[in-house]
Amino acid sequence: MPRFAANLTMLFNELEFVDRFEAAAKAGFRGVEYLFPYAFSKDQLAEQLGQHDLVQVLHNLPAGDWAQGERGIAVKPDRVGEFQEGVGKAIEYAKALGCSQVNCLAGIRPAGVAEHKLQETLVANLCFAADQLQAAGIRLLVEAINTRDIPGFYLCGTQQTADVLAATGSDNVYLQYDIYHMQRMEGELAATLEKHLPRIAHIQLADNPGRHEPGTGEINYPFLFGHLDRLGYDGWIGCEYKPLTTTAEGLGWVTVLGR
């Protein structure tokens, strides 16, 4: 079965963030991911990982002003300098935390900018990030997100994202495939995973509707996990869902499906 990583942004969120590492380890998770590490010191986070024998699986590049609704800046022509500075910051944290991959959120489409300019900006930013990260031994991931939850998000389909990756010409840029987001946007989960598996470096999950844990909605997770086994996927799967009640009460799906 795949290896599951607890997304500490969404799981165990009744606890202070630094206490969620211990809770994840006690629940049986061996890996963790979360949106951003930058509000905490590198030493503080590294101590939590080491103390609880956890692998830092993933975090995102800086994504602008999250509190004000920004969801990435890689597509914004007027933020290139900020994006490049963020790549350097992400590398510093990833090295300190032993994190071998970081994710880029493209961002919400800015108004009044021509499509070709948005595409050129995104591709150029990804080329810069891929080169800088490769020199540091870190993989760059890029994620498509559904436009029902985040209206206007620039990358919202698997093939669209794969085409952007191809346009970079880099061998250090990969797909992060989020099952929940792509169920909402396009369905065809099994076929899409099979088609794009060579470029998929990380998977995230939640059920639909509601973005709760597997078994609460319409997605056939036992089938999908078996499908990924048959395809030979050996990466992590990030549990990026909103617990229906509490995290602990909702973890029965992990026991049933195995780790």
Structure tokens at 108: 């919400």
Residue 240 falls in the annotated catalytic set: yes
Strands 31-33 and 200-205, by their bridges, are: unpaired
Q: Hey, what amino acid is at 115?
A: E
Contacts of residue 1, Cβ cutoff 8 Å, sequence gap at least 6: 225, 229, 257, 258, 259
- Name the DSSP letter for residue 35: S
Q: Is 239 exposed, middle or buried (0-12, 13-18, 19+ CB in 10 A)?
A: buried
Catalytic residue among 47, 143, 186, 213: 143
Query: ∠173-175-176 over CA atoms, to 5°?
Result: 125
CB atoms within 10 A of CB 244: 16
Peptide bond into 110 cis (omega under 30): no
DSSP 68: G
Q: Which of 14, 33, 240, 249 is catalytic?
A: 240
List the end-to-end C-alpha distance of the chain, in Å, as a whole number.
6
Residues designated as active site: 143, 240
